[in-house]
């Protein structure tokens, strides 16, 4: 199966607005060493359309004829073993042809074999030879690897990508094969934050990041509709209208690549990059390096001979969005506008006046559109307080540890106890079985048997011995669906000793939210107080949105505990009906002082009835009792017993884990 390459689609130059995405992609083509770009935003904002349109702008590269690894014809250090052997025999350059850089799509459901490469089955069966069949990492060498919905990429593929991205080499040791080849690529990922975040290890690998939203002005939105309808009516004519603009942009990119080595990096520019990184509280040193390299690419694009403070600050807007953290989170309230203002407040070191632009480069670059308008915004925030945590970081960390212990991650491996016919989860790789096989990996089994066919007696078919049999390893991707049912009645305001159970509980729940960003769990927040229960947050994987909801929980009024349990139960049942594979979980945070039933029943009996209903429907639950001492008169232990829930006292939990 050939990897999906992008043929001509909607023209890059025809996309209305979204200048930040365009600029970030262009900079990565100018300097592939920038580390790629992550594009985050809501659906329907042209993220994928722009990436696909980029394929028409990519420059030509020289590739060795007949090489599946896209080797350079005269760079010995970047050749595969086959080309290296030819190079030693024939000398440089090897026979080559020119073609454009490619954009290769990495499907979310890709298997490990397809990504890394595997045994050539045909050669093994007919010739008894163990020959390597290249995978996607060979196809994308010296190109662009595009992953749509990168935050949903299987964890095992993320680990493999991290290894190859760090080394620039794909090493394959499997099925009797030992092979390695260069794989250097620019990683481009798009994602919707509502569907969950990336693992920190992969997030930090992206050099640049752009947060995108829909266009809010009426006129541009009308133009978007008009262009889309025109494209669908006659794609060929529409592309012809923007062909010259795309070609001009492509020539400019080639010129910038050639000019890049001539751009000077000054000490003041490096000093300003370091100052911004320190002021914004980023971890490590990748941000500093990325800012300088991005600024250099910006200058090459404008054909400016030297980096200026404005270039560093503009580069910081691409480099920092995914690196500014608040106790491991990127708070939604810390908007792009505020970040730009914060960066603009950081004074550059003394520098001479900006050098003039080199004559003959009068074209208006993309980056001088919407982005430059935001450089001189009035200072409104203090950089030193921007990243201060909203919740007590110690309690948040305890909460993260607690939920890691009591909520096991939906992981990788065989689903023991599941019916053989279920075969739930995505097939990621194969293994030698340890007992009876219920999920045969036919492809891996054939590959294991193929090299031995010439030695086995066979009558036209493939002879498979027991030692050849392989079993599928599947990844269960659904994860947990969690409903937080939180008591926000008046009794949560004070514990009688000057403290607040709600403030402590918020820290603990903040830990769950922090965990949410690193897993595929979905979370909803239900509160109950006064005369009703209400849904404060629908199911989401967006940790920043969930953090805001937890921080903003109001308190006051009576305690309709039964109503909260009922609403949480109904939400989980609906999700279970939509996706039977999920693991439903209810986390109740309450002092157990039920004193109101919205149906006029006894409040405690109402709560116990719904607790039994939750247990009867096999919904796992955790009860966190906010009572501060054993003499309190709440019914947390009784309700927990009816739920068959794991029971924890909040004060003891904090004390034991602290």
Q: Which tokens go with 265?
A: 């990096």
Cα separations (Å) of 1 from 27, 134, 174, 543?
32, 12, 21, 37
Contact 560, 597 (CB under 8 A): yes
Q: Which tokens go with 52?
A: 């696909």
DSSP 172-220: EEETTEEEEEE--EEEEEEE-GGG----HHHHTT-SEEEEE-----HHH
Q: Which tokens go with 635?
A: 């019914």
Cα separations (Å) of 252 from 23, 311, 356?
13, 19, 19
Side-chain-facing half-sphere of 214: CA atoms under 13 Å: 11
DSSP 251-310: HHHHHHHHHGGG-B--HHHHHHHHHHHHHTT--SSHHHHHHHHHHHHHHHHHT-SB--HH
Contact 386, 280 (CB under 8 A): yes
Query: For residue 215, how far is the Cα from the chain centroid?
Result: 23
Contact 636, 591 (CB under 8 A): yes
Sort 648 into a burial class: Cβ within 10 Å, 0-12 / 13-18 / 19+: buried
SS3 for 6?
coil
The DSSP bridge partners found for residue 620 are 585
Q: Which tokens go with 230?
A: 């025109």
Q: Report how far residue 43's alpha carbon sits from residue 363's, in angstroms, rounded to the nearest whole number.
A: 32
142 is catalytic: no
The DSSP bridge partners found for residue 332 are none
Q: Report how far residue 202's alpha carbon sits from residue 157's, in angstroms, rounded to the nearest whole number.
A: 11
Contact 126, 167 (CB under 8 A): no
Exactly one of 62, 131, 286, 345 is catalytic; name it.
286
Q: Report how far residue 614's alpha carbon sits from residue 645's, in angstroms, rounded to the nearest whole number.
A: 10
Query: E strand or H helix at 222, and its extent?
Result: helix 218-233
Q: Which tokens go with 307?
A: 């980096």
Angle at alpha carbon of residue 472, lines to 158 and 474, rounded to 5°: 45
Place of tokens 């969950």: 196
Q: Which amino acids are annotated catalytic?
A: 286
């Amino acid at each position: 199966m050939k990897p999906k390459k992008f043929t001509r689609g909607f023209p890059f130059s025809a996309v209305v607005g979204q200048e930040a995405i365009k600029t970030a992609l262009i900079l990565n083509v100018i300097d592939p060493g920038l580390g790629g770009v992550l594009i985050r935003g809501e659906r329907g904002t042209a993220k994928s359309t722009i990436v696909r349109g980029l394929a028409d702008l990519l420059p030509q590269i020289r590739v060795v004829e007949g090489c599946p690894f896209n080797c350079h014809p005269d760079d010995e250090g970047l050749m595969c073993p086959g080309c290296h052997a030819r190079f030693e025999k024939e000398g440089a350059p090897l026979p080559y042809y020119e073609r454009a850089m490619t954009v290769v799509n990495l499907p979310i459901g890709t298997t490990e074999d397809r990504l890394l490469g595997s045994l050539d089955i045909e050669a093994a069966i007919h010739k008894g030879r163990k020959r390597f069949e290249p995978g996607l990492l060979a196809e994308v060498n010296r190109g662009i690897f595009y992953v749509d919905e990168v935050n949903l990429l299987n964890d095992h593929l993320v680990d493999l990508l991290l290894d190859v991205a760090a080394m620039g080499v794909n090493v394959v040791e499997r099925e009797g094969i030992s092979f390695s080849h260069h794989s250097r690529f620019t990683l481009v990922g798009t994602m919707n934050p509502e569907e969950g975040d990336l693992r920190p290890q992969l997030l930090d690998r992206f050099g640049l990041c752009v947060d995108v939203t829909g266009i809010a002005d009426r006129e541009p939105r009308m133009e978007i509709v008009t262009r889309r309808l025109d494209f669908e009516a006659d794609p060929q004519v529409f592309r012809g209208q923007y062909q010259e603009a795309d070609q001009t942009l492509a020539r400019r990119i080639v010129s910038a690549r050639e000019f890049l080595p001539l751009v000077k990096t000054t000490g003041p520019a490096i000093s300003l990059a370091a100052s911004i990184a320190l002021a914004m509280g980023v971890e490590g040193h990748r941000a500093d390096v990325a800012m300088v390299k991005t600024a250099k690419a910006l200058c090459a694009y404008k054909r400016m001979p030297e980096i200026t403070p404005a270039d560093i600050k503009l580069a910081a807007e691409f480099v920092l969005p995914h690196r500014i953290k608040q106790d491991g989170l990127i708070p939604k309230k810390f908007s792009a506008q505020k970040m730009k203002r914060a960066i603009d407040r950081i004074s550059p070191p003394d520098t001479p006046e900006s050098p003039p632009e080199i004559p003959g480069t009068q074209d208006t670059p993309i980056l001088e559109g919407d982005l430059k308008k935001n450089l001189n915004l009035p200072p409104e925030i203090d950089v030193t307080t921007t990243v201060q945590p909203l919740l007590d970081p110690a309690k948040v960390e305890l909460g993260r540890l607690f939920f890691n212990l009591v909520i096991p991650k939906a992981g990788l491996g065989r689903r023991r106890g599941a019916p053989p016919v279920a075969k739930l989860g995505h097939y990621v790789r194969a293994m030698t079985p340890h007992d009876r096989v219920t999920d045969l990996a036919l492809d891996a089994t054939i590959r294991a048997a193929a090299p031995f066919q010439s030695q086995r007696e066979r009558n036209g078919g493939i002879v498979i011995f027991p030692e050849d049999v392989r079993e599928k390893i599947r990844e269960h991707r659904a994860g947990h669906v969690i409903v937080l049912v939180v008591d926000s009645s008046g009794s949560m305001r004070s514990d009688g000793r000057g403290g607040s159970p709600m403030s402590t509980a918020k820290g603990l729940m903040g830990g769950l939210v922090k965990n949410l960003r690193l897993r595929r769990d979905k979370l909803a927040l239900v509160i109950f107080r006064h005369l009703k229960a209400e849904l404060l947050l629908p199911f989401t994987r967006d940790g920043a949105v969930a953090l805001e909801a937890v921080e903003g929980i109001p308190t006051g009024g009576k305690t309709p505990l039964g109503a909260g349990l009922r609403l949480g139960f109904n939400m989980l049942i609906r999700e279970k009906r939509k996706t039977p594979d999920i693991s439903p979980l209810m986390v109740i945070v309450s002092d157990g002082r039920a004193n109101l039933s919205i149906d006029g029943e006894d409040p405690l009996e109402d709560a116990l009835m719904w607790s039994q209903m939750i247990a009867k429907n096999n919904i796992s639950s955790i009860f966190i009792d906010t009572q501060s001492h054993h003499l309190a008169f709440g019914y947390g232990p009784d309700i927990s017993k009816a739920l068959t829930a794991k029971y924890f006292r909040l004060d003891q939990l904090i004390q034991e884990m602290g």
